[in-house]
Structure 1
Amino acid sequence: MVGPRRIRGGHPGLREQDADELVVRVGVGGGAADLVQRLRVSPASISQTVAFLEQQGLLKRERAPGGRRERYVIDDELWVRSTLASLQMNDTLVAESQRAAEILGAATLAGARFATSGEFLLLVNATLRKVMEQWQQSQAERNAGRQS
């Protein structure tokens, strides 16, 4: 999942407090100048961090109609996209774990660890997929209720 800790883990340019504040400020549609002033960091730090988050699909840049300034926003689908990305990454890790277990052999300690890791991630993904299906169903029902 995404949040301040993921930002800290993937982009060391900001202090922990600044990463927390960035998430909050972006969540309410803050712009670069606002973030620089509020966090008391350089425009380059904001630019690098925003580029990283944008590359990860965690925020988007929007320009107000008729305006020149960009603001950064986290849309309503962020958590869905983040979960789908986690599923894809886990699928890759499962395949690599299974491959490593085959190469090393299930009888070896390392092979057994890889096999167990793959099994665990398969279980995690199966659960996440069920949650995603429940979420999609609940959203479809909510949207149908709004249209009635």
Structure 2
Amino acid sequence: MRPALMSLLAASLFLFAPASYAADEKDSSDILGNWTFQTKPYRDGQCLMSGTARLSPNPESGVYDCELTAVEVCSMWGRSVVQQSCTARRFGNQVSIRSEIDQFLESKIEGLLYVPDNFALTIQSSKRMYGSLVSAAIAPAEFIRSEEGIS
């Protein structure tokens, strides 16, 4: 009887392990909160974008409200700082961020055409997402969760 009981116990551990692992994975990929991001250089290495994003809850499942501040530095036209509102949609481990420009906080060239910054990302963990800037230019991008400090 003991071997049968041990077999049953081993089988039940095997069956329940994937379910608890899946629950842990879901928690580890929570994307709410503050993020910093940076692209790789683009436009033949002349531009680089970095910034911050805050993802907050939305009543619709899989949708997040967000705010994004992008800092684009290009050797040919200087630095632009643009505040944007955005919507993030999550599909499994994929996140799509679509932005609208709220205001220009800084711009070196008068009348510079600036296109909203959109991103297509893959969630690696609760601390990192990676993918691409998909805007007037396309470039690899990485989002890292901001560490909340105590002041």
TM range (shorter): under 0.3
TM-score (norm 1): 0.19
More strand by share: 2
How high is the TM-score relative to the length of structure 2?
Answer: 0.19
Which protein has the bigger helix share?
1
User: Which structure has more RCO (C-alpha within 8 Å, separation ≥ 6)?
Assistant: 2
